[in-house]
Chain A
Amino acid sequence: MSPEPLLAVEDLVVEFPAPDGGGAVRVVDEISLTLAPGEALGVVGESGSGKSMTAFALMGLLPAQSRTAGSIRYRGEELLADDGARIAAIRGREVAMVYQDPMTSLNPVLSVGHQLTQVIRHHRGLGKAAARERAVELLRAVGIPGAAARLRDHPHQFSGGQRQRIVIALALSCDPKVLVADEPTTALDVTVQAEILALVARLREQSRMATVWITHDLGVVGGFADRVAVMYSGRVVEQATVAELFRAPSHPYTIGLLNSLPRAGDRTRLTPIPGSPPDPAQRGDGCAFAPRCAWAVDACRVHRPQLEPVGGGHEVACHRWREVRGGIEHEAVTHHG
């Protein structure tokens, strides 16, 4: 472990006021993550698991009515203090983000060149011509053909894949130390997905920036990340290096995710996870996954498991991870009452 992580999230909580007015709904529930310089962290989970909200919390871009608690430290400096002013000061420059939907992430009435140079000039204090040059260089780096001629074009004149490349160029415009990517390929065709992944991997190689890659696709993470955090219902349920996670998945949910991953040449049926994730407003005291879990016992429904180290930097939040690892299926007969 490096002495000082670049980014350290500790017990981060994000809550929204409940729609009925009473109490609050926790969409991110005490999660902790660390990111070393140059490291790629994959955050995996299904829709509603809180992964996007975690990303927005890192960027200070949560909706106004949300409340956050816990700590986010960037280079040892607390970002959640002083009402978001610290985050506002570093975002775009130190921490940048690539968003989920390239079709709506760029301003439709401003030219691509304007959007790029505006950010470059703001952060770097460059002149018009120099900023333009930098913008062309960026567009070229992300693979937009005829970059110089296209600065004047507006977003609607580009394809979805190209727009995502432009959003990536925008994020990279000031050489951030951390790139947060929130499912940047979900809205794109599979072939374009692969290109974007390869592009970010290459850029990461060149600049040694740390990356948080949020996705619902374990397959994407496998090829890209150093470490993976699996999120379920607002919490991190398992965290390990990619190799370790694929070798010895220890949370029933992770195993479920792996089992629903199609593999080339494998003709066996995919096994989906039964049921659907709980409404964050209706979560009980126990493990949020228990209602869908084949290993669940009474204790799971009463006590929420905490992340515990299981060796090799691997952490799991499951009362029964030993049995799960051993592959012992729980027989439904024994515990019920």
Chain B
Amino acid sequence: MTTFLVKRGLQAIPLLIGISLLLFAMLQMTPGGPLASSEGTGAQNAARVEQIREHYGLDDPLPVQYFNWAGGVATGDWGTSFNTGRPVLTMIWERLPNTLLLTGAAFLLAIAIAVPIGVLAARKQYSWFDYVSSGLSFVGVAMPSFWLALMLLFVFSYSLGWLPSGGLEDLRADHEGFSAVIDRVRHMILPVIVLAAVSTAQLARYVRGAMLDVLQQDYVRTARGSGLRERTVIVGHALRNAAIPVVTVAVLTIPELFLGSVVMETIFAIPGIGRLFVESANLRDYPVLLGILMIGAALVVVANLVADIVYSLLDPRIRYAS
């Protein structure tokens, strides 16, 4: 197992290098540039623009720029933001906890809702519950999350005034101790629901499908024929097997949620990675964009690895040869 992990870790390196090349090239191909807004605004400005170009090495040939940047990433210096002049890693570190908190909460919420719904829908296939949950799943998958966010904001924040409309804490009051926790949770409710909606819908459909598959298996009949309680048959035998394919999909929703935070954080004005990404994209702040995209890529690679490991824990037939 350790050999397997080391091997997979090493395999990830060329993969990430390839991704970094692609990302770098794609950003260079986008129209405009970090100095687009300053260019052509007058002769007195031209000298200043030239100075900035010089400072950030933007005149260097692209391969040189790439190696400068990639070498920095490898050694822990992810460059400085064109916009704020602060180190990229520091900026990401500041924002990361907020995003992780929201995506983590959304992930747990999605699983906590999707698994019971999927199991119950499969158990009672073609029942009204199955139809309603399947219908809602389709709606959930099809609905744009920004629209859901705006509707929820309209109802719960604007019309009813129950929940705050943005941010992560109440800026008008000083909450301490327990009341600070409550305040934080109140701010998280809508963003987490929006973020979790699509994943919940997808996962519920997946759990239902996997359970339907497993419930027809001979060993489920054996378990039932052994006189075990229906609950034991469903949870202890069927779900235990259905979990294997579900885990892959579930783990891979983590990078999806991370990307989803772009829309959600923008709408709810949450100072996280997603909003940082949008801000940086608008300003063509390449070092910050590249940093965030690389973290996203690494997350996909890690999520895949985690899925493989959980796989082998759940299914004794899978053993990774070294």
Q: Which residue of A lies closest to B241 (CB)?
A: A109
* Contact across chains for B316 and A118 when beta carbons are under 8 A apart: no
A99 at the interface (CB under 8 A from B): yes
Most buried by A among B227, B230, B232, B236: B227
Please tell me if B218 contacts chain A, counting CB pairs below 8 Å. Answer: yes
Neighbour of B228 across the interface among A90, A106, A111, A122, CB < 8 A: A122
A34 contacts across to B, CB distance below 8 A: none
Q: Is the CB of B222 within 8 A of A170?
A: yes
State which residues 215-246 of B face A: CB under 8 Å. Answer: 217-219, 221-230, 232, 236-237, 240-241, 244
Write out the residue numbers on chain A whose beta carbons fall within 8 Å of the beta carbon of B244: 109
- A154 interface residue per 8 A CB criterion: yes
Write out the residue numbers on chain B whose beta carbons fall within 8 Å of the beta carbon of A9: none
The reply on A270 being an interface residue by CB < 8 A is no
CB-based contact B314/A118 at 8 Å: no
**A99, B226: Cβ atoms closer than 8 Å:** no
Q: Which of B225, B236, B316 is the one whose CB lies under 8 Å from A61?
A: B225
CB of B317 within 8 Å of the partner chain: yes
Q: How many B residues face the partner with a CB closer than 8 A?
A: 23
**Inter-chain contacts of A104 with B (CB < 8 A):** 217-219
Interface size range of chain A in the complex: 20 to 34
| A217 on interface, CB distance cutoff 8 Å | no
A59 at the interface (CB under 8 A from B): yes
Q: Are A170 and B227 in contact (CB under 8 A)?
A: no
Q: Say whether A302 faces chain B, with CB atoms less than 8 Å apart.
A: no
Tell me the nearest residue of chain A to B222, going by C-beta.
A105
Whether B218 contacts A154 by the Cβ 8 Å rule is no
Flag whether A91 is at the interface (Cβ < 8 A): yes
Interface string of A85-121 (1 = CB under 8 A from B): 0001111110011010100111111110000001100
User: Closest CB of chain B to A181's CB: distance in Å?
Assistant: 12
**Interface 1/0s, chain A 117-130, versus B by CB < 8 A?**
01100110000000
Q: Are A106 and B222 in contact (CB under 8 A)?
A: yes
A154 to B240, CA, bound (A): 14
The proximity string for A residues 282-293 relative to B, scoring 1 for CB distances below 8 Å and 0 otherwise, is: 000000000000
**Cα A156 to Cα B244 with chains together (Å):** 17
Near A by CB (< 8 A), chain B positions 101-121 give none
Cα distance A61–B223 when bound, in Å?
11
Binary interface profile of A, 143-155, with partner B (CB < 8 Å = 1, else 0)? 0000000000010
- Shortest distance between the CB of B12 and any CB in chain A (Å): 28
B315 CB–A CB distance under 8 Å: yes
Check B317 against A156 for contact (C-beta < 8 Å). yes
Q: Considering the chains assembled together, what is the distance between the CA atoms of A61 and B236 in angstroms?
A: 18
Cβ–Cβ contact A99 & B314, under 8 A = no
Measured between alpha carbons, how far is A101 from B244 in the docked complex, in Å?
Answer: 23
A93 to chain B, nearest CB (A): 6
Is B237 in contact with A107, judged by CB distance below 8 angstroms? yes
Interface contact B225-A92, CB-CB below 8 Å: yes
Instruction: Count A/B pairs, Cβ under 8 Å.
Output: 77
Interface 0/1 of B305-316, CB less than 8 Å to A: 000000000111
The reply to whether B222 and A154 contact each other, CB–CB distance below 8 Å, is no
Nearest B residue to A167 via CB reads: B222
Cβ A119 vs Cβ B226 within 8 A = yes
Give the distance to chain B from A112, nearest Cβ to Cβ, in Å.
11
Q: How far is the CA of A123 from the CA of B228 in the complex (A)?
A: 8
Q: A152: nearest residue on chain B (CB-CB)?
A: B316
- Binary CB contact string for chain B from 66 to 109 against chain A (1 if under 8 A, 0 otherwise): 00000000000000000000000000000000000000000000
Contact assessment for A59 and B225 in the assembled complex, using a CB-CB cutoff below 8 Å: yes
User: Which residue of the partner chain A has the closest CB to B219?
Assistant: A107
Neighbouring A residues of B225 by C-beta, 8 Å: 59, 61, 91-92, 96-97, 99
Residues of B within 8 A of A92 (CB): 225-228
A105-B228 in contact (CB<8A): no
Residue pair B221, A99 in contact (C-beta under 8 Å): yes
Q: Which residues of B contact A123 (CB under 8 A)?
A: 227
- Report the minimum CB–CB distance from A26 to chain B (whole Å): 22
B124 — nearest CB in chain A belongs to which residue?
A64
CB pair A107–B240 under 8 Å, yes or no, is yes
Q: Which residue of A lies closest to B229 (CB)?
A: A122
When the two chains form their complex, are residues B226 and A108 in contact, meaning their CB atoms are under 8 A apart? no
CB pair B222–A93 under 8 Å, yes or no, is no
B218, B230, B314, B316: the one within 8 Å of A105 (CB): B218
Q: Which of B291-322 contact A (CB under 8 A)?
A: 314-317
Cβ contact within 8 Å between A108 and B222: no
Bound-state Cα–Cα, A88 to B233, Å: 12
Expressed in whole angstroms, the Cα–Cα distance for A88 and B222 within the complex equals: 13
Which residues of A50-108 have CB atoms within 8 Å of chain B's CB atoms?
A: 59, 61, 88-93, 96-97, 99, 101, 104-108
Tell me the smallest distance from the CB of B219 to a CB of chain A, in Å: 4
Q: In the bound complex, how far is the Cα of B227 from the Cα of A92, in angstroms?
A: 5
| Given contacts A105-B218, A107-B240, A91 and B316 within 8 Å (CB-CB) | no
Contact residues of B between 230 and 276, Cβ < 8 Å to A: 230, 232, 236-237, 240-241, 244
Query: Measuring CB to CB, which residues of chain B are less than 8 angstroms from any residue of chain A?
Result: 217-219, 221-230, 232, 236-237, 240-241, 244, 314-317
Contacts A99-B222, A104-B218, A118-B236 known; list 9 others, CB within 8 Å: A91-B226, A92-B225, A99-B218, A99-B221, A107-B240, A108-B241, A110-B237, A154-B317, A174-B227
Top 3 A-B pairs ranked by shortest CB distance? A92-B227, A104-B218, A107-B219
A-B contact pairs, 13 of them (CB 8 A): A88-B227, A88-B230, A92-B226, A96-B226, A97-B225, A101-B218, A107-B222, A107-B240, A108-B315, A119-B227, A122-B229, A122-B232, A156-B316
